[in-house]
Structure 1
Amino acid sequence: MIAAIPGVVDVSQSAEEAQPLLDFVIRRDLAADFGIPPAAVGTALRALIDGEEVSSVRRADGGSDPVVLRLPETLRSDPAMLGALPVAQAGGLAVSLDQVTRREGTLGPAVIEREARERVITITAGLDGRVLGDALADIDRGLAVLDLPAGITTAMGGDAEELGDTVASMAMALGMAVICIYLVLASQFASFLQPLAIMAALPLALIGVGPALLLSGSTMNIYSMIGLVMLMGLVVKNSILLVDNANQHRRAGLPLAEALIRAGSTRFRPIIMTTLAMIFGMLPLALAIHPGSAQSASMAQAVIGGLISSTVLTLVVVPVVLTWLDALGTWVVRHLTAAAPPHGAGTSP
């Protein structure tokens, strides 16, 4: 299934071809009749086939070599001879292997791999002209329709596992960045509502990231994710300039609507200048004009796309959101004041 996915190459698995095996299955009822524990049969057979270290020989140079006792090759490879060998004693008589076991010819793995005490088979593959995330999505869809036997599970490792960990870490970093931005803005503006209007520019930045990466032929990777985290701090700069200037006009006695209009005309040039300075500063990296910079070019491309969309939309969206939040705050204060009892009011006993 994996080999049939476009862009996936060099598919291989760790399990080699099955090897013929000869199993001696213990007949527990007969072993119990003889009074022979099954473990004793296994221990004797292991010593006969695999060998057992019984002594050591000291060399002239002071070292030592182990002395291993086991059956000769001719006996180890002859099932009939193995079956006739004594493996235990019962009532003073030797009990042969065939008397307490039965022989079964089977197939088994040449090498047994284990991970977390479970048998595993590792399937590895490479990519050729395909993005890792897209290939993983195809593999997941293929695994979903496979009718796997009971007890068999699948799990991703390697680059796929690292990609999942990276996305989770970057999502946590993005969330922490948003929380820290709100806390700083709330303390600086002495308001819980105005930071929400300023942070309305954050989703506006995401609007331009996708088209920028698409036009440049880049993907959402670790570098473009770093660019997203950078955007969280860059795009609120325009909103801060706009809202701070509007607050200055409001303190001078202007209504909110007129204060926002004046702030937009006053701060339009600084907003455009600072945004263009950041965009042109990112252009060399985004164009990958230097050797070795192509890998991290997606970071600059994401930043440029986010700056363009946020700058254009901030001048429209942030004043609207600020107006709504101001009306909401006024409504809440009015209703709380109306619900509160007059100062000093009460009933006499």
Structure 2
Amino acid sequence: GGGGSNLEVKVFGYDFDQTNKISEELTQFLKTQTGFKDISVSRDKDKAEIQIIPDRNKLSQLGLNTSILASSVRNRILGYTASKYKEDGTEYDIIVKYDDNYLTTVKDIENMSIIGPRGNIVKLKDIAQIKQMFTTPNVEHENKIRVNKIVTTLQGRDLGSAVDIINQHIKTMNMPKNIFVEVGGAAKDMQDSFKDIAMLFVLIILLVYIVMASQFESLREPFIIMFSVPFAVTGVFLSLFITGTTLNLISGIAIVMLVGIVVKNSIVLIDFTNILRNRGMSISKAITASGKSRLRPILMTSLTTILGMFPLALSTGEGATMWQPMGIAMIGGMVFSLIISLILVPVIYSLFGNSRIKRIRKNIRKNI
């Protein structure tokens, strides 16, 4: 989901002017798009400052040094606590400093009087050079590269569409060769989480298949049962689409959970079909009989899970929006897999069984 998620657009590069220009362009673009709120840039704009560069030769001739010069300038601008004043038990600092009215221009600073250790008075401009500069107040680094971050909060827009809009705009920008842009924050976390979930999904499918293969002592029947998994995932996507819910980390966890749940119905059906086959029934009769016999327990177990998820899917309390996708995904996946277990899995079992019988008969004819 997108409400309240933070999104970072990172502009990497060593050139301040270029990265500031790209950051400003991206900031203005985000301000024109809906769903992006509280847009801020991590790097402050350049600030004007006055630098005092002392002439060390002149300082030494007058018996001064940089420490005396620095403390003299600081005391005249910020003030020096000369003494303390007590009244009615309260103590007040007596601060001596230049009047702010006499510190309004660079000339005022240049004409500031500095008293040396010999009692000699000299103007600041005679012993130092005063320069007006523009400096960047803060510089962030990531992986040893300068970075400027544009941070925004998403409201009424999901994370996926926000990333797509930004990436599409980045492609249209005239990007210098030494500058590159990366989308981070919650978007980066989401991508990493989905990669982990995808890997976990594949691992669980393999583990479930291995467990069923060891129990059925066959590679064919677990393969038939696993057909219910992709259709369960289809049911998840359909339910999320119908309800207007986005695919996020919570619904991704629900997909992983469904792998172990949806194969249960097919296992019950295939296992009983095998028992009937071993008793001498034909494939078609065994499938029909197992369907009639196992319909009720399959419906009962599936409906209990589906109904148990309804409070989670329909809840409106505090924090409900976070867990709703799990309930919706579980219901959609279970409903779809229930239909597939009762219709498609028996059909696939019949096809595999008939093809196996044909191969056996063919081998018998060859031997004869």
The answer to whether TM tops 0.5 is yes
Aligned to 1:310: 337
Aligned to 1:170: 197
Unaligned stretches of 5+ in structure 1? Answer: 24-44, 49-66, 82-104, 343-349
State the alpha-carbon separation in 1 of the partners of residues 238 and 145 from structure 2: 45
CA 1:256/1:11 → structure 2, altered by over 3 Å: closer, same or farther? same
Unaligned stretches of 5+ in structure 2? Answer: 1-28, 57-65, 75-105, 111-131
State the alpha-carbon separation in 2 of the partners of residues 279 and 46 from structure 1: 79
Amino acid at match of 1:11: I
Identity %: 32
- Deviation at 1:174? 1.1
CA 1:202/1:280 → structure 2, altered by over 3 Å: closer, same or farther? same
- Deviation at 1:200? 0.4
- Deviation at 1:230? 1.3
State the alpha-carbon separation in 2 of the partners of residues 200 and 143 from structure 1: 41
Amino acid at match of 1:17: K
Instruction: After superposition, give the CA deviation of every residue in 1:287-321 in whole Å (9 maximum; x if it has no partner).
Output: 11554333212111110111111111221111122
Instruction: After superposition, give the CA deviation of every residue in 1:105-152 in whole Å (9 maximum; x if it has no partner).
Output: 996634322222111111111111111122112111111222211110
- Say which structure, 1 or 2, has more relative contact order (CA 8 Å, 6+ apart): 2
State the alpha-carbon separation in 2 of the partners of residues 109 and 333 from structure 1: 81
Residue number among 165, 169, 180 corresponding to 1:153 in the alignment: 180
CA 1:331/1:114 → structure 2, altered by over 3 Å: closer, same or farther? farther
State the alpha-carbon separation in 2 of the partners of residues 200 and 219 from structure 1: 25
Partners of 1:5 and 1:138 within 8 A in 2: no
Partners of 1:235 and 1:310 within 8 A in 2: yes
CA 1:113/1:231 → structure 2, altered by over 3 Å: closer, same or farther? same
Amino acid at match of 1:264: G
CA 1:181/1:119 → structure 2, altered by over 3 Å: closer, same or farther? same
Quick check: 320-329 or 143-152, which moved more?
Answer: 320-329
- The secondary structure found in structure 1 opposite 2:179 is coil
Instruction: After superposition, give the CA deviation of every residue in 1:199-224 in whole Å (9 maximum; x if it has no partner).
Output: 10001112221232233342212211
Q: What's the RMSD between the two structures over aligned residues?
A: 3.4
- The secondary structure found in structure 1 opposite 2:39 is strand
Amino acid at match of 1:235: V
Partners of 1:47 and 1:70 within 8 A in 2: no
- Deviation at 1:162? 0.9
- Which structure 2 residues correspond to residues 132-151 of structure 1 after superposition, within 5 A? 132-151=159-178
Aligned to 1:197: 224
Q: Please give the TM-score of this superposition, normalised by the length of structure 2.
A: 0.66
Amino acid at match of 1:157: G
- The secondary structure found in structure 2 opposite 1:121 is strand
Q: Please give the TM-score of this superposition, normalised by the length of structure 1.
A: 0.69
Residue number among 189, 196, 207 corresponding to 1:180 in the alignment: 207
Residue number among 43, 48, 67 corresponding to 1:15 in the alignment: 43
